[in-house]
């Protein structure tokens, strides 16, 4: 029994010693940033002792710090129950967000807020709470865009951050590394390129960056190329050598003579302990955008802008401010020529982890940020947008479910259906009325088309068949004017509204609709009287009645269409009163009609009022009321054509 007891005690001591050394091993891996190794080690510790909260906390942190916070969910859930504090509640909320469990995330952030008296920490939790309700308001910024995994280009490793320069696609990949990065357990990232024309990439011809040699045993990523192609800037870091820089830094290579220089450290990094990455040039190359965790930001990783100096370096970095930067992380900037600013963020209201956003000025000149929506963003990380044809086509990077490897390159295109085209072909026929009352073709008539904005859109002389053809747009307003020497010019409105089919019902790409209209011109003959119908006056009164206005308005239009004519407007009575009375009454009535025309914008010097009383009866000795009505009339005649 004793010997058995002694052997058992020795075994227990050895077991306890191995567990302790296993935890210490994991802790060393964690502290040195070897998160993937730490995950494996702490998983072994928890397999033997699931109550070890220290191991569980470091396991959860290893997932979080290696950008896999969604996988840390069960660990933060247990920590929040057994070791509740701000961090466990807050990181639980973030892991729930990454898994799109919005209501549970709200409860976690509320618990984080009340678990601390630190104003700064409370502000972080309240900011997260403020973004959650806005997730439901996210809509697609680019409608009808299609996102497709570039399967031929992607590998089983990470592939991301594509840019195009001089017919080459440059990108980051872990496909060819001979060593594993201990933080993630995947290959170190290197810079590659392949020939490309727009979205078409020669995936079979992918090669390591030839401008300078990728270094072994560290990550090189997120290449930025100046608009002239002569400057390459990228992020370099994660070396395990104690002699190397302790953080990720920006390095630059310049084209000099026959090739590119060896990359050198950039002064814009400023401090060796600051993390700097994801560079991008402005559209004119005078500014450099990049992400950094340097002090003075708004939390996490912020976006900065540095200006090109006289010596070619970039300096005077400034934070892009609280509209773009949040308490979370902002990375992968991209400015477009129209002034819009695209970037990735996990601090603005999003669908999961990193989402793609755009910042632009609204109508009031205020910068606003919009999520690109579910057509671009997913529950996972979506980042690194690059336009090959702005804004219709380009690339993004994502590690969403269903990809080929870790991060994958996706291409997108605007798949908005081309609108069905409807052309309205309008035939305008010009005619005149002959002496027998029949209409006849009036060729060589000038017909001019005007748009709704009064601008001339076209004009021509009618052919031998009296036809002029115009091409109009559907659902639009126009005006047409026809003129010919010796005839009254005439204008009239024309609309295509309601005269064409709904484009949604059409099958063909182009549909032509032919419409016809006719315009009849009257001969312009000096001193020829033209009767104005329906001009009535009350008995023994000279005031213009309201029912006379439409007919006088027609005369207004004739005068406006023919600005060179001068007319006499005459009034005639019947014979049932004295000559003097009828003469005076008719003059008053003619003047009333002239006054109305002047009130409608016709110059008074183009008008002559003349009352003829009963001196020009059309039916002498009229007997019936109808005959008297015929004698009571208002006429006009052209008495002068200016320029003639």
Higher-pLDDT residue of 642, 3: 642
What does pTM read for this prediction? 0.70
Evaluated on CA atoms 579, 585, 589, 591, the torsion sign reads: positive
Q: 194: which strand partners? A: 169
- Of 303, 279, 308, 305, nearest to 292 by C-alpha is 303
The 10 Å Cβ neighbour count of residue 294 is 17
The gap from C-alpha 49 to its chain's centroid, in whole angstroms, comes to: 54
Using CB atoms within 10 Å of the CB of residue 126, give its burial: 0 to 12 exposed, 13 to 18 middle, 19+ buried.
middle
The per-residue pLDDT for range 113-137, each reduced to its tens digit, is 999 999 999 999 999 999 999 999 9
> What's the half-sphere exposure (Cβ side, CA atoms, 13 Å) at 530?
17
Does the pLDDT at position 462 exceed 80?
Answer: yes
17 pLDDT tier (thresholds 50, 70, 90): very low
Does the pLDDT at position 19 exceed 70?
Answer: no
How far is it, in rounded angstroms, from Cα 628 to Cα 617?
A: 9
pLDDT of residue 494: 96
For residues 293 and 300, is the Cβ–Cβ distance under 8 A?
yes
For residues 184 and 209, is the Cβ–Cβ distance under 8 A?
no
Q: For 71-78, which contacts have Cβ atoms below 8 Å and span 24 or more sequence positions?
A: 73/98, 73/99
pLDDT of residue 16: 43
Does the pLDDT at position 155 exceed 90?
Answer: yes
457 pLDDT tier (thresholds 50, 70, 90): very high
The structure tokens 């609280």 sit at 322
Domains belonging to the chain, first-starting first, are 2-136 (1.25.40.10), 145-414 (2.115.10.20), 421-521 (2.60.40.10), 530-641 (3.30.1330.60)
Tokens of 626: 């109808």
How far is it, in rounded angstroms, from Cα 283 to Cα 388?
A: 13
Does the pLDDT at position 67 exceed 70?
Answer: yes
How far is it, in rounded angstroms, from Cα 580 to Cα 590?
A: 15
pLDDT of residue 575: 87
Q: What angle do CA 595, 539, 627 make, to 5 degrees?
A: 105
Mean pLDDT (the chain, rounded): 91
Does the pLDDT at position 91 exceed 70?
Answer: yes
pLDDT of residue 1: 30
The 10 Å Cβ neighbour count of residue 560 is 13
pLDDT of residue 20: 54
548 pLDDT tier (thresholds 50, 70, 90): confident
The radius of gyration of the chain from alpha carbons, rounded to an integer in Å, stands at: 42
Higher-pLDDT residue of 405, 255: 255
For the chain, how are helix, strand and coil distributed in percent, rounded to 5? 25, 35, 40
For residues 35 and 184, is the Cβ–Cβ distance under 8 A?
yes
Pairing of strands 207-208, 200-201: unpaired
Query: Residues 22-38: what's their mean pLDDT?
Result: 93
- Of 336, 357, 333, nearest to 346 by C-alpha is 357
The helix (run of H) or strand (run of E) holding residue 317 is strand 314-319
Does the pLDDT at position 5 exceed 60?
Answer: no
Does the pLDDT at position 159 exceed 60?
Answer: yes
For residues 341 and 358, is the Cβ–Cβ distance under 8 A?
yes
The per-residue pLDDT for range 307-325, each reduced to its tens digit, is 999 999 999 999 999 999 9
pLDDT of residue 539: 67
Does the pLDDT at position 10 exceed 60?
Answer: no
For residue 549, the 8-state DSSP code is: H
Segments in 33-118 forming alpha helices (H): 35-48, 53-65, 73-82, 86-98, 102-114
534 pLDDT tier (thresholds 50, 70, 90): confident
pLDDT of residue 7: 38
The per-residue pLDDT for range 353-366, each reduced to its tens digit, is 999 999 999 999 99
Directed axis angle between helix 102-114 and helix 86-98, to 10°? 160
Q: 265: which strand partners? A: 251
Does the pLDDT at position 546 exceed 70?
Answer: yes
- For a pLDDT cut of 90, what percent of the chain falls above it? 73
The per-residue pLDDT for range 385-432, each reduced to its tens digit, is 999 999 999 999 999 999 998 899 999 999 998 888 899 999 999 999
Q: Cα dist. 485→385, 427, 468, 479, 607 in Å?
A: 65, 22, 17, 20, 22
């Amino acid at each position: 029994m004793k010997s058995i007891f002694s052997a058992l005690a020795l075994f227990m001591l050895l077991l306890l010693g191995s567990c302790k050394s296993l935890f210490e091993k994991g802790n060393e891996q964690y502290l040195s940033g070897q998160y993937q190794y730490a995950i494996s080690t702490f998983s072994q510790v928890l397999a033997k002792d699931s109550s070890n909260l220290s191991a569980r906390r470091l396991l959860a942190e290893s997932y979080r710090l290696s950008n896999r916070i969604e996988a840390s969910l069960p660990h933060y859930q247990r920590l929040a129950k057994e070791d509740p504090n701000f961090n466990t509640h807050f990181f639980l909320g973030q892991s729930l967000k990454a898994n799109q469990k919005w209501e549970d995330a709200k409860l976690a952030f509320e618990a984080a807020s009340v678990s601390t008296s630190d104003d700064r920490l409370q502000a972080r939790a309240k900011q997260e709470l403020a973004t959650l309700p806005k997730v439901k308001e996210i809509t697609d910024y680019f409608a009808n865009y299609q996102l497709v995994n570039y399967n031929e280009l992607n590998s089983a490793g990470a592939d991301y951050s594509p840019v195009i320069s001089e017919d080459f696609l440059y990108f980051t990949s872990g496909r060819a590394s001979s060593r594993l990065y201990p933080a993630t357990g995947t290959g170190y990232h290197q810079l590659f390129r392949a020939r490309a024309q727009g979205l078409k990439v020669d995936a079979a011809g992918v090669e390591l960056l030839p401008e300078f040699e990728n270094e072994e045993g560290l990550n090189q990523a997120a290449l930025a190329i100046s608009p002239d192609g002569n400057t390459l800037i990228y992020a370099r870091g994660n070396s395990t050598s104690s002699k190397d820089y302790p953080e990720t830094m920006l390095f630059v290579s310049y084209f000099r003579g026959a090739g590119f220089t060896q990359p050198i450290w950039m002064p814009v990094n400023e401090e060796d302990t600051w993390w700097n990455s994801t560079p991008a040039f402005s559209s004119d190359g005078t500014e450099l955008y990049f992400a950094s965790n340097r002090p003075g930001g708004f939390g996490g990783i912020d976006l900065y802008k540095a200006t090109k100096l006289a010596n070619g370096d970039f300096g005077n970095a400034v934070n892009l401010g609280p509209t773009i930067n949040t308490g979370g992380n902002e990375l992968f900037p991209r400015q477009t020529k129209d002034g819009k600013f695209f970037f990735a963020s996990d601090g603005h209201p999003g669908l999961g982890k990193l989402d793609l956003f755009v910042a632009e000025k609204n109508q009031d000149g205020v910068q606003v940020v919009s999520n690109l929506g579910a057509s671009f963003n997913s529950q996972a990380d979506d980042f690194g947008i690059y336009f090959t044809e702005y804004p219709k086509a380009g690339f993004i990077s994502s590690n969403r479910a269903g990809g080929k490897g870790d991060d994958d390159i996706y291409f997108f295109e605007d798949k908005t259906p081309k609108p069905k085209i409807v052309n309205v072909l309008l035939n305008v026929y010009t005619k005149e009325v002959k002496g027998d009352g029949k209409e006849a073709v009036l060729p060589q008539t000038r017909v001019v088309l005007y748009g709704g904005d009064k601008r001339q859109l076209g004009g021509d002389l009618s052919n031998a068949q009296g036809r002029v053809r115009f091409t109009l747009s559907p659902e639009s307003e126009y005006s047409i004017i026809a003129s010919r020497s010796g005839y009254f010019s005439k204008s009239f409105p024309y609309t295509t509204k309601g005269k064409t089919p709904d484009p949604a019902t059409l099958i063909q790409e182009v549909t032509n609709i032919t419409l016809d209209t006719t315009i009849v011109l009257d001969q312009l003959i000096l001193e020829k009287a033209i009767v104005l119908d329906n001009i009535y006056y009350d008995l023994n009164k000279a005031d213009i009645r309201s029912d006379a206005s439409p007919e006088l308005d027609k005369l207004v239009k004739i005068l406006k269409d023919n600005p060179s004519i001068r007319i006499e407007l005459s009034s005639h009575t019947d014979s049932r009163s004295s000559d003097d009375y009828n003469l005076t009454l008719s003059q008053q009535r003619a003047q009333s009609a002239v006054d109305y025309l002047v009130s409608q914008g016709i110059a008074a010097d183009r008008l002559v009022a003349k009352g003829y009383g009963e001196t020009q009866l059309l039916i002498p000795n009229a007997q019936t009321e109808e005959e008297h009505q015929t004698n009571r009339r208002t006429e006009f005649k052209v008495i002068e054509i200016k320029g003639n």
